[in-house]
Structure 1
Amino acid sequence: MENTLLSLAIIYVIMWSMWLIITAVMRYLKSNTSTGSDQSAVLQSNTSSSRCSSSFGLNARRRPVVMQNYQTFKTFDIIDDFKDHHYREFSHSVMHSDYLNVFRLSDKNAKKSYTIYVRVSESRMDLLRAVIIGPAGTPYHDGLFIFDVHFPPKYPAVPPEVHYHSRGLGINPNLYSCGRVCLSLLNTWTGRGNEKWLPNRSTVLQILVSIQALVLNEKPFFNEPGYDSTYTGSEGARRSKKYNEEIFILSLKTMVYTLRSPPRHFEDFVSGHFLARGRAILLACRAYMEGADIGCIVKDEIQGCRKVEKRNLQGFKRGIANLMNSLIVNFTMNGSEDCAEFHLTE
């Protein structure tokens, strides 16, 4: 019995020693197969936890490629498939000549700066995806808002169906957390005359531009029916500002979600957009925390801002503070290198 126990103990010691040796060898090989640039990148990552740290995992060699793809990203293009499209399981319908209006979107974008980017599927021409950049001067500025469109079999007698990728956040009275888009052109809200869908006259371009210009506007609080007449004067202005603060925080959350999980065929566009606009977004956050009105930053400059009353600012500052470091980490992981100054300490 004693010999058996002794033998088992010896076997256990031998196995434990072998495991330690194998582990040490693997660590040695791993450390020596890293290139000098990889090692410096790791050091930089470890010593700059207070800096913005990317897409995940965008490295120095990949960054120029992403920026090139972003700068040359077409406003309209045809892609192979839409595996992540909201309406991918819907019945296939026939393509209509209204698509010609979408093809012209690229020219109109260049002239009018709508900043709307569209992709359609070669195999499913009844599906369309649009990414709309939030307009400057609004609480949606610099955000990316994703919409999936389906052209039903009865189109254009009926309007297309539109779904907003909300990530569970209701960022506007017209954009529900469930993804519903409330718009007269879609016949999902009341309207008169040209406000409603008119077969053979209304276009998908009208819908996309209406979302950007009329829905994602400077004072979305008043998009709620009846609020423009119920809340007037100083009370309306106060409620509108408070709503803008809440919406801006939700917009920041949407940025983080979109950067972490970009829509298919827009990956480099999303990454490049936040590489180009990351610092400006953080500058805006700082200005708003210091009391500037939401949306007063246009072309990266503060314009016509008034200070928000201190009693209304504290909750908003806490909300921004909770998101700032998350933005910094995600922007840095995306390749940004100029975010360290915005890190907030507790």
Structure 2
Amino acid sequence: MTSLPGDTPTIPDAKFPQFDVASDVSDHHFAGRNPKASSSNSAVYKKIMQEWKVLSKDLPETIFVRAYETRVDLIRAAIVGARGTPYHDGLFFFDIAFPSDYPAKPPLVHYRSLGLRINPNLYSSGKVCLSLLNTWTGKKSEKWDPKNSTILQILLSIQALVLNEKPYFNEPGYSAWSGRTYWQKKSLAYNEDVFVLNCKIILFVLRNPPKNFEPLVNQHFKEHAEFLLGACDAYRKGCMKVGSFEGDPNRVKPEQVSFKFRSLMNHIYGDLVVAMSKTGAPVEHFVEQVREEKEKKAKEKVDVAAKKKKGGVNVSEVGKNLVKKLKNIGFLGLIVKDKNVKSKEVSV
């Protein structure tokens, strides 16, 4: 792990470090900002170094941070979606910039949304609505406090309060209705939509990992592939509602899952299996499952085509055969062919 200024260098950890210092800021959202906190003699710089030390010691196992040696005013964080939520096992990235008068003002936080709205507090534009950032209303105790608030508090708040079990009720005013059946159903439907978006983000992140987090992306999904795919398989089969999978596919309980959700999960499941297999995760049984399902569908299409060809009806041939049969029974002799007579009674 790269050492902090003044620390003794240590041997790199085998796993991706929770906190480290990188150099490449080229894809950071705030890279174009004029860095005004880089002077090592400034009070802002010293405060940022204090933040670095806190992050290097106190980050939970599900949050990863990279600071930048050439741009101390910038950091990037990756937050793992918690189990039991529609964000489970996903990786969500946030670009952060310290203002020139930090900590008098809170940091700027940009969510790397990929254009997807996965939460009432996280906009597709990247805006993060949070009282602690002064981007949302709240009590004085919930807002940014220059003396006590920290980057770690912001990250923990996003993980616990924003990426939660029932994000539908993050919408202003909705929490008051959370106990009613109608709104619970709306919440479940919202969770289904959010999890599909989570899967799309997972695929994108696997194919385009943010700079300096490439090893984390591969390592994380390699370790969590079996659980994630097991959950997705249960969801697409309508066996469980989002977030209720516990890891054992043999202990699933039938839940009310929408046809739309099952259909969307069926559509994306194969891509997830292929992407996870490329991380080196032991998911051969899922790969085989997808292969067998594709072969079965292909065979069904061939069988349907063959049946149509074998039992297909040629309209012209049917017409000829019908005329022939009618002639044989003399029925055509009863038909009046006089063009000047619209109808004529025929005695039989």
* TM-score interval (norm. to shorter): 0.7 to 0.9
Match for 1:126: what amino acid?
D
Give the deviation of 1:306 after TM superposition. Answer: 6.0
Superposed, 1:162-311 pairs within 5 Å as: 162-230=109-177, 232-289=179-236, 290-298=238-246, 300-301=247-248, 307-309=254-256
Shift in CA distance, 70/178, structure 1 to aligned 2, threshold 3 Å: farther
Residue 333 of structure 1: aligned partner: 278
Give the deviation of 1:73 after TM superposition. Answer: 1.1
2:86, 2:242 within 8 Å by CA — same for their partners in 1?
Answer: yes
Match of 1:84 among 27, 32, 44: 27
User: Is there any run of 5+ residues in structure 1 with no aligned partner, and where?
Assistant: 1-68
User: Is there any run of 5+ residues in structure 2 with no aligned partner, and where?
Assistant: 1-11, 38-44, 298-348
Shift in CA distance, 91/305, structure 1 to aligned 2, threshold 3 Å: farther
Give the deviation of 1:91 after TM superposition. Answer: 1.3
Match for 1:330: what amino acid?
A
2:20, 2:56 within 8 Å by CA — same for their partners in 1?
Answer: no
- What's the TM-score once normalised by structure 1's chain length? 0.74
Three-state SS of the structure 1 residue aligned to 2:109 is: strand
1:293, 1:306 within 8 Å by CA — same for their partners in 2?
Answer: no
Match for 2:275: what amino acid?
N
C-alpha distance in 1, partners of 2:179/2:80?
A: 30
Give the deviation of 1:103 after TM superposition. Answer: 2.4
- Is 1:101 paired with 2:51? yes
Match of 2:80 among 128, 133, 138: 133
Give the deviation of 1:293 after TM superposition. Answer: 1.9
- Report the aligned-residue RMSD: 2.2
C-alpha distance in 2, partners of 1:295/1:87?
A: 34
Shift in CA distance, 200/209, structure 1 to aligned 2, threshold 3 Å: same
Deviates more, 1:138-147 or 1:282-291: 282-291
Structure number with the bigger relative contact order (C-alpha 8 A, sep ≥ 6) is 1
Deviates more, 1:225-234 or 1:80-89: 225-234
Shift in CA distance, 99/295, structure 1 to aligned 2, threshold 3 Å: farther
Three-state SS of the structure 1 residue aligned to 2:25 is: coil
C-alpha distance in 2, partners of 1:272/1:119?
A: 16
What is the count of residue pairs matched by the alignment? 272
Three-state SS of the structure 2 residue aligned to 1:125 is: coil
Q: Which digits, 9 at most, give the CA deviation of each residue in 1:56-106, with x for residues without a partner?
A: xxxxxxxxxxxxx99521111111231110000001022242442342334
Larger radius of gyration: 2
